[in-house]
Amino acid sequence: MHLLIFLGIFAAVAAAADKPNIVFILTDDQDVALESMTPLTKTKEFIADQGVTFANAFATTPLCCPSRSSFLTGLYQHNHKAVNNSAEGGCSSLKWQEQLEPKSYGNILHGAGYRTFYAGKYLNGYGYNNTGGTQHVPAGWDWWIGLVGNSIYYNYTLSVNGTSEEHADKPEDYLTDVVKEFSLSFLRNLGEESFLMAINPPSAHDPYTPADRHREPFSDVKAPRTANFNVPVNSTKHWLLRVTPSVLPPETIDNIDEIYRNRWRTLLAVDELVEEVILELEKQGKLDNTYVIFSSDHGFHYGQFGQSVDKRQPYEFDIRIPLLIRGPGIPINQTVLDPVLNIDFAATFSDVAGIASSPTDGESFLPKAKKQKTNFDRVFYVENHGEGEDGSRRREQEECYEDKSIRSCFPDMSCKCFDSKNNTYICIRRLSDDVDDVFCEFDDDEHFVELYDIRQDPFEFENLALFGKIQVERRDAVECYMDTRNPIGECFGL
């Protein structure tokens, strides 16, 4: 009897040991459409040049906590129900912890015998008293190094396996470096078991603080002057974009350029992390059996359409994300065009581990990365729930507006507001051989609609929703979704 149990455990461990490892590096607020991959030269050398770059990867919601919740569970926002960055909106709420944390890819792989590691930013609401404090360790993580709250570089608290660890602002407290050191330490303490690492540096999120050693570079770099950079919008875009000023004055553009440079500088520490983790994998003899994946939770914009710096919009710059992967069976230095979504990662990791997970809204991208299968035909949702003022932001914005439904309006950004309660929308994004478009309906007083043909109009100037038949189809699909919360296939009759 005892012997049988012992043999059973031994068999499970032995099986897990043969399975490929996963190292998943997820940055914060890093766009791909506006060139934020440029400073990551080592990441290019060690991942992209040794593997596959997905040229069409998307976040299905352009906001941190909802998107990270989708990465963790493989579910759309309307299914995981973390609609914004606070506990009241489901972000790391007690209900989320109870119902969804057990379904995270971490817990699923842990159940399959993987040794698991999580470090850095988790969900914005994590670690506070109303979400269980730092003693709460989400199910499935053997090593848990969770950042309390939102991204920050110094003066923060970590939960290290459920115990608070305070960090000040000495050079060695730089969070990306601390995450790197924990990652290397995990790798140096491994046995033969298969492992999963989720590495979540704060870069390139606000407050954009570079490490001391990275303050100098890129002094001539400016935010890209894309065709839609700081251009006024007209009545064909939703109301939040039309709030004055219609274009940003030169001093605000200077502030944006400085933010752009600092974002790149923060990414240099991530680049070092990627290199050192890969060299350590090699040193441990584990690199050949490891998938290393690099992505970001969503995109970012810098002055496009006269907006200042943020995300939360349904346009390409906010929803496109970088996605690089190297590992066993993946060809070297190739680009893959098949669309991949943030809801695909959980299914991909189960696929790597060779296990069936509970159903998700996504699909594994492993066959696409191996070029065994192509599926350049995909229809998906992009969803956002706008945030109103939540008290903590009040002081900064009261110089700009009294209105509590509008949020994050800062004097150094010409009071151009980032968000509003009704910046709430559902879009249907379609990519196939002959279609590349996005249709959005906003949950505002105007039920505003926007439709862009991305192939003809990559900068999304011409709102085609004002004409044509396609709008009727898309509107029906959105309404089908809004009325009944039907899955996308049902709404499209696919």
Ligand X SMILES: *[C@@H]1O[C@H](CO)[C@@H](O)[C@H](O)[C@H]1NC(C)=O
d(CA 38, CA 390): 35
Residue 406 CB, nearest approach to ligand X (Å):
11
Within 10 angstroms of residue 305's Cβ, the number of other Cβ atoms is 23
Q: d(Cα 311, Cα 27) in Å, to the nearest integer?
A: 14
Q: Is 235 one of the binding residues for ligand X (CB under 6 A)?
A: yes
How far is Cα of residue 467 from the mean position of the Cα atoms in its chain?
A: 33
Is residue 405 near ligand X by the rule CB under 6 A? no
Interacting residues of 387 by C-beta distance below 8 A, sequence separation 6+: 84, 85, 86, 89, 407, 419, 421
Name which position in 9, 14, 18, 88 contacts ligand X (CB under 6 A). 88
Indicate whether 246 belongs to the interface with ligand X (CB under 6 A).
no
Segment near ligand X (CB under 6 A); pick from 119-127, 231-239, 372-380, 475-483:
231-239
- Options 66, 89, 146, 299; binder of ligand X; rule CB under 6 A: 89
- DSSP summary character for residue 136: -
User: Least distance to ligand X from the beta carbon of 197, Å?
Assistant: 13
Q: Which of residues 248-307 bind ligand X (CB under 6 A)?
A: none
The residue among 110 and 370 lying less far from ligand X, judged by its C-beta, is: 110
- By CB under 6 A, the residues from 445 to 464 that bind ligand X are 461-462
By CB under 6 A, tell whether 193 contacts ligand X: no
Tell me the per-residue interface mask from 119 to 158 with ligand X, x by CB under 6 A, - otherwise: ----------x------------xx----------xx---
Short-list 84, 288, 108, 132, CA closest to 198: 108
Are the CB atoms for 312 and 61 separated by under 8 Å?
no
Contact region with ligand X (CB under 6 A), list: 16-24, 265-273, 355-363, 382-390 = 382-390
For the CB of residue 108, give the shortest distance to ligand X in the complex, in Å. 18
What angle is formed at CA 235 by the lines to CA 229 and CA 240, rounded to 5 degrees? 65
CB of 74 to ligand X, least distance (A): 22
Structure tokens at 121: 């930013």
Work out how close the CB of 141 gets to ligand X at its nearest, in angstroms, rounded to a whole number.
Answer: 8
Give the residue with the Cβ less far from ligand X, 259 or 477: 259
**Contact status: 234 vs ligand X (CB under 6 A):** yes
Residue 166 engages ligand X in binding (rule: CB under 6 A): no
Question: Which secondary structure element, helix H or strand E, spans residue 106, and what is its range?
Answer: helix 105-111
Q: Does 441 bind ligand X (CB under 6 A)?
A: no
Q: How many CA atoms lie within 13 A of 447 on its CB side?
A: 5
Identify whether the C-beta of residue 477 lies closer than 8 Å to the C-beta of residue 428: yes
The DSSP line for 477-489 is HHHHHHHH---HH
Using alpha carbons only, give the angle 282, 287, 289 rounded to the nearest 5 degrees: 155
Minimum distance of ligand X from residue 402's CB (angstroms): 17
Judged by CB under 6 A, which of 275, 390, 403, 453 binds ligand X?
Answer: 390
Q: DSSP class of residue 13?
A: H
Asked if 83 interacts with ligand X (CB under 6 A), we say: yes
Phi, psi of 199 (to 5 degrees): -110, 120
Q: Which stretch binds ligand X (CB under 6 A): 219-227, 347-355, 385-393, 471-479?
A: 385-393
| Structure-token pair, residue 278 | 């890969």
Q: Please, are residues 189 and 102 in contact by the beta-carbon 8 Å criterion?
A: no
Query: Within the chain, what is the greatest distance between any pair of CA atoms?
Result: 77
Quote the least distance from Cβ 231 to ligand X, whole Å: 7
Q: Which of 84, 228, 364, 384 binds ligand X (CB under 6 A)?
A: 84
Decide if residue 181 touches ligand X (CB under 6 A): no
Question: Binding of ligand X at residue 387 (CB under 6 A)?
Answer: yes
Number of residues that bind ligand X (CB under 6 A): 23
Among the residue ranges 59-67, 92-100, 252-260, 383-391, the one whose residues contact ligand X (CB under 6 A): 383-391
Q: Which stretch binds ligand X (CB under 6 A): 228-236, 292-300, 308-316, 359-367?
A: 228-236
DSSP state, residue 232: P
161 touching ligand X, by CB under 6 A? yes
Beta carbons of 199 and 120 less than 8 angstroms apart? yes
| Residue number, 88 or 282, with CB nearest to ligand X | 88
Closer to ligand X by Cβ: residue 139 or 160? 160
Please identify, among the stretches 81-89, 190-198, 260-268, 292-300, the one whose residues bind ligand X according to the rule CB under 6 A. Answer: 81-89
Asked if omega into 207 is within 30° of 0 (cis), the reply is yes
Q: Please provide the distance, in angstroms rounded to a whole number, between the alpha carbons at the two ends of the chain.
A: 52
Residue with tokens 């934020």: 36
**Which runs of E-coded beta strand occur in 328-377?**
334-336, 340-341
Q: Which of 7, 10, 12, 49 binds ligand X (CB under 6 A)?
A: 49
Q: How far is the CB of 458 from ligand X (least distance, A)?
A: 13
State how far the Cα of 169 lies from the Cα of 167, in Å rounded to an integer: 7
| Residue list 323-352, contact with ligand X (CB under 6 A) | 333
Catalytically annotated residues: 64
Ramachandran category for residue 437: left, alpha or beta (phi over 0 → left; psi -120 to 50 → alpha): beta
Q: How far apart are CA 485 and CA 494, in angstroms?
A: 16
Q: List residues binding ligand X (CB under 6 A).
A: 49, 83-84, 86, 88-89, 129, 142-143, 154-155, 160-161, 169, 234-236, 333, 387-388, 390, 461-462
